[in-house]
């Protein structure tokens, strides 16, 4: 289990223990975190799992694939630290990862 903190658009912190091997998106969906709809089920085809990764963590994550970059271009207010949470696989190395959920998704 790895602790992931989701901050929803109303600034509420949700600290969740997510099983390693799941994605950050799956951890949110399984725990009813509002704002991560994941309409495509993790297929990198919807951008409704878009999150902002806190700076401290951004460079620790595996690099984006081209498909993720393309999909983020269509996300709500993408920023430098945007990622698709369905592409982030939870592991011990990500313990403490904190992500913000964009307001449009909240």
Residues that bind ligand FES in the complex, under the rule CB under 6 A = 25, 38-40, 42-49, 71, 84, 86
CB 51 within 8 A of CB 102: yes
Minimum distance between the CB of residue 48 and ligand FES, rounded to whole angstroms? 6
Q: State the virtual CA torsion across 37, 105, 10, 85 in degrees, nearest 10.
A: 60
Tell me whether residue 11 or residue 66 sits nearer to ligand FES (CB atom).
Answer: 66
Token reading at 50: 């878009």
Residue 95 CA to residue 55 CA, distance in Å, equals 15
* Residue 2 or 82 with smaller CB distance to ligand FES: 82
User: Please, which residue, 7 or 51, has the CB nearer to ligand FES?
Assistant: 51
């Amino acid at each position: 289990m790895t602790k992931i903190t989701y901050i929803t658009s109303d600034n509420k912190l949700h600290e969740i223990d997510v099983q390693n091997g799941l994605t950050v998106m799956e951890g949110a969906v399984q725990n009813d975190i509002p704002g991560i709809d994941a309409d495509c089920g993790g297929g990198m085809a919807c951008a409704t799992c878009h999150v902002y990764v806190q700076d401290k963590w951004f460079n620790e994550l595996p690099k984006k694939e081209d498909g993720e970059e393309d999909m983020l271009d269509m996300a709500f207010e993408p920023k430098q630290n945007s990622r698709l949470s369905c592409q982030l696989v939870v592991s011990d190395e990500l313990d403490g990862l904190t992500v913000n959920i964009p307001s449009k998704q909240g």
